[in-house]
Amino acid sequence: MLKAEQMQSLPYFFSDIPDPRRAQGRRHPLPTVLAIVSGAILCGMRGYEAISDWADSLSQKARERFNCRREKGRFLVPSLSTIRHVLIRVDPVHLDRALQRWNHAYGKEDQSLAMDGKTMRNAIDEEGLQVHIMGVVGHQSNASYTQKKSVPCP
């Protein structure tokens, strides 16, 4: 569960990320879409449909806190296709920095961190090499601090 203050703060942390969408037809501000996606993931949702279902289940008050667009007296959440479209196109480096800033402001303080690496099955990068991911997780909070593509191991 996210607290009201955490919901209201999320869009602010994404406000400086460049919007990769065309200006025509934009119905939802990028910070709002990213805040809703982040809120859903923080609440355990995985996958586009689960994120969209979580967004659809938000109360009007929660939608207002996420700074959702208001139409005919009701706050509207982005659709599944909008969520997917944004996540595919947004720069992951900008997104990672914003989430790290939010986590620094609202996350739990961990006294120790765990670092782990994984090789992504069937994932090949632009140079034809298999993709390796390194992640850092806090022991006390189980919070993911960062996840980055790493250099292939020899």
**What is the three-class DSSP state of 116?**
strand
Report long-range pairs for 121-129 (Cβ below 8 Å, ≥24 apart).
Answer: 125/149
User: Per-residue pLDDT tens for 95-139?
Assistant: 888 888 887 787 666 667 777 777 777 777 777 777 777 777 777
Residue 101 has a CB neighbour count (10 Å cut-off) of 14
Domain ranges of the chain: 4-106, 113-150
User: Per-residue pLDDT tens for 82-105?
Assistant: 999 888 888 888 888 888 888 778
**Token pair of 28, please?**
């939802």
User: Per-residue pLDDT tens for 66-83?
Assistant: 889 999 999 999 999 999
Say whether pLDDT at 150 is over 70: no
pLDDT value for 32? 92
Contact 65, 8 (CB under 8 A): yes
When pLDDT is averaged across residues 37-58 and rounded to a whole number, the result is 89
